[in-house]
Structure 1
Amino acid sequence: MPRVALLANEGSGTGCDPDDLERLLVRHGATVDVFPIVGLREAVATGPDRLAVAGGDGSIAPAAAAAGEVGAALAVIPSGTANDFARGAGLPSDPDEACRIAAAGTRERVRELARMDGRPFVNVASAGLAARAASLAAPHKQRLGVVAYVLGAARAALTEPAVPCRLSADGREVFDGAAWQVIVSSSGHFGAGSSVAEADPSDGWLDATVIEAGTRARLVLHGWGLRSGRIADQTGVRHFRAEELDLDVPADTGYNVDGEILSRGGARFTVEHEAYRLIVG
């Protein structure tokens, strides 16, 4: 009977109920200790076989890092608004099925863990339009769900300026100019349905996608490219792969890191290969 430490974020998009999730996990054969999402240190201190996280995408990377450090497998019970990580990993949205996999699943995938100045992320870290779009969407997520992301992206595309930036990949400068958006990908899934198809969270490489500044009219085409996953194939878009990326942007540039909004200047991105085990079925 596996020992599961459950981290539950009751304030996430779907407002998960830790008691309900605990009952489902027990029904599927686990012994369970429940912790609030801020109790990560206490959760791993119990020595679980599996660390389950129920929350939005921003909750997953810290849990993945901790699970990898202590040798526990990571399970994800999607409970956010967008749930981009779960979608990309092929995990079920149904709580009962997600709890069955968390408690009794036997298939695992070994995954990389990306970091921005040491901060872990599992999906993408984006500078430029994505950060503003997420900020505009945030007040409406509870009411509109994923539609809030679409509306936020549209408003950002109409109003936000391009970002001057310089990008180096493994020590070699690969881009110097203005960009609408710079996307550093691990899984490559973000924005409630957008993706970068080239990104593979098991290959140990970071994928950088630069959407060069151009006319705002072209942003409609780029938006389609993001929704279809083929953004890197488009004219005016550059794609690079590296183990280390250095991005130089103005101070107080907005970043969207797994759905969490940060404001800072330049950043260094690194990747840890085979950093944690994800239970997938």
Structure 2
Amino acid sequence: MSEKRKLIFIVNPAAKNGFSLRIWKKLSMQLKDIPYEVYFTEKTRDGTEIAKSLAMKHSHPLLIVAVGGDGTIHEVINGIMHFPHVTIAYIPAGSGNDFARGFGMPQDPKKSIEYIKELIDSHETLFDAGVYTTNQGVNGIFVNSVGAGFDALISMKGNQSKVKKWLNSISLGKLAYTYYIVKELFRYQPTTLTLEVDGETKKFEKTWFVTVSNQQYFGGGMKIAPHADPQDGEFNITVVHRLSKIKLLFIFVSVFWGGHLKYKEVVSFNGREISIDFDQPVRVHADGEDIAETPFYVKISPKSWGLIQKAE
């Protein structure tokens, strides 16, 4: 790079019940020799608004570092899309941290800050993003995955729960999702899914959920899409349908190593533009954040944002 990047941190102090703020206080001690700015979010969507405001304010190269969980990086990337002078970095300080896994970033916050200091002025790597639009007028960007059905319901319940807050206090926040999987399993009624993938219609009866993945992981380390590549210009789509409730539990366990793909009730394929609808409205998540109900539409935005990353 010919011009040095300005270093800016956007910190979500509430991530993982305040763990993010404690991590930031420790890491900031390692930045005494580097000029930087820091901004703190206070409510939902602050990360998007702060990142967008900074991108519009500055015309020289910026490195914006999200400090928090997958929801924090989701908000920041939504703010900087279409601003090519902005590059992204990440310090994982949430309970899931699928972004760090899926994009080959350090998962240890202490290693992350050294990684950022080393690569601050290195060339960025460009990655794909997904663009989603819903019938309720909600639209935005995702970089991990979007999904509809049982997994989106679990994500919503887990994120809203007091159980997760308590478990986060003892660094076991991911168990909240396991709790809600078991709790909601016997209430949920799978229904017919209709997909239109690159102009071809596909129907799946008794569908539990569909996930459209840009990278491999979701749900705090579940390898939902082992074949997803965030640089190939396509999504990987996973449909889970026509199986018993007990078998669904086995599939959720096997997702952690990608073993779910061996089941005949799990279908996986690729696509660039996808319309998603169910016979009855179901919840939709984007990067683990509850956004709306079905129907909705997604399309790929190839190599549309930059991340600092070590060359392999």
Normalised by the size of structure 2, how large is the TM-score? Answer: 0.82
Q: 1:109 aligns with which of 125, 134, 139?
A: 125
- Counterparts of 1:257 and 1:56, CA distance in 2: 13
Is residue 55 of structure 1 aligned with residue 68 of structure 2? Answer: yes
Whether the 8 Å contact between 1:5 and 1:43 is mirrored in structure 2 is no
Equivalent residue letter for 1:46: H
Is residue 123 of structure 1 aligned with residue 144 of structure 2? Answer: yes
- Counterparts of 2:279 and 2:299, CA distance in 1: 20
Offset at 1:251? 5.6
Match of 1:4 in 2: 7
Whether the 8 Å contact between 1:2 and 1:49 is mirrored in structure 2 is yes
Q: 1:234 aligns with which of 242, 263, 273?
A: 263
- Counterparts of 1:25 and 1:46, CA distance in 2: 25
Number of residue pairs matched by the alignment: 280
Is residue 84 of structure 1 aligned with residue 98 of structure 2? Answer: yes
Pairwise mapping of residues 270-281 of structure 1 onto structure 2 (< 5 A)?
Answer: 270-281=299-310
Residues 104 and 204 of structure 1, relative CA distance in 2, 3 Å threshold: same
Offset at 1:245? 0.6
Match of 2:289 in 1: 260
Match of 1:203 in 2: 232
Offset at 1:14? 5.3
Percent of residue pairs identical: 22
Equivalent residue letter for 2:153: R
Residues 251 and 236 of structure 1, relative CA distance in 2, 3 Å threshold: closer
Is residue 34 of structure 1 aligned with residue 38 of structure 2? Answer: yes
Equivalent residue letter for 1:64: I
Normalised by the size of structure 1, how large is the TM-score? Answer: 0.90
The residue matched to 1:17 in structure 2 has which SS?
helix
The residue matched to 1:238 in structure 2 has which SS?
strand
Offset at 1:183? 0.7
The residue matched to 2:215 in structure 1 has which SS?
coil
Larger proportion of strand: 1
Mean Cα displacement is larger for which, 118-127 or 249-258? 249-258
Whether the 8 Å contact between 1:24 and 1:99 is mirrored in structure 2 is no
Match of 2:136 in 1: none
Equivalent residue letter for 1:41: K
Q: 2:180 aligns with which of 121, 127, 152?
A: 152
Offset at 1:119? 1.4
Q: Deviations over 1:241-268 (max 9, x none)?
A: 1110111125641122212113322111
